[in-house]
Amino acid sequence: MALHIAQREVRNVTVLDLEGQLVAGEEAASFRDLIDVLIAKSKLWVLVNLKAVRMIDSSGLGVLVSAHLAIEKAGGAIKLLNASQRHINLLVLSKLSTVFPNFEDEDAGIESFLPRDQVGRQFDILEFVRSEENSEESLTGEEPLENRNTPSASEEYSDKS
């Protein structure tokens, strides 16, 4: 059975959803060709989803290692998603389990590419506005009204009498 590869982008990470077999021949060659294209386009964070991959042979493992080396040389990383126990056993036996981090959750895999200070961090406009309201200066850069040296309405009334 041929290898089908669907490609999508999630938060600057290229997710490759593989389906079929990653084995010697056209399947391994098509995977390697796609990796070359991604490197040429500077898409260097790659998460390979193996959920629908039924079999990986030595050539498939070799193309994964080759992809890892090429992407790492270009300054990126390749990681695995949803590797089955059979795939994990193959990686352990070949002593490649430390080369390919495996994630069972896509969000965790995506976040693993991001710098630590950006993981799970999203801009909250309400939190920003509240912090600005509590600060010494307002959003306009002026001093808050309660701190200004202007007379209150009651002080203005008493001064005029």
Q: Helices 58-73 and 26-40 meet at what angle, rounded to 10?
A: 10
Strand ordering across the sheet containing 13-22: 4-10, 13-22, 45-56, 77-81, 102-103
**Domain extent for 35:** 4-118
- Whether 8 has a pLDDT exceeding 80, the answer reads yes
Q: Which residue has the higher pLDDT, 88 or 82?
A: 82
The total number of structural domains in the chain stands at: 2
Within this chain, do residues 36 and 60 fall inside the same structural domain, yes or no?
Answer: yes
CATH number, domain containing residue 110: 3.30.750.24
Stretch 71-84: mean pLDDT, rounded? 96
Residue 62: Cβ-neighbour burial (10 angstroms; 0-12, 13-18, 19+): middle
What pLDDT is stored for residue 138 in this prediction?
Answer: 47
Task: Kindly tell me the burial class for residue 16, based on how many C-beta atoms sit within 10 Å of its own C-beta (0-12, 13-18, 19 or more).
Answer: buried
**Residue 139: band (very low, low, confident or very high) from pLDDT cuts 50, 70, 90:** very low
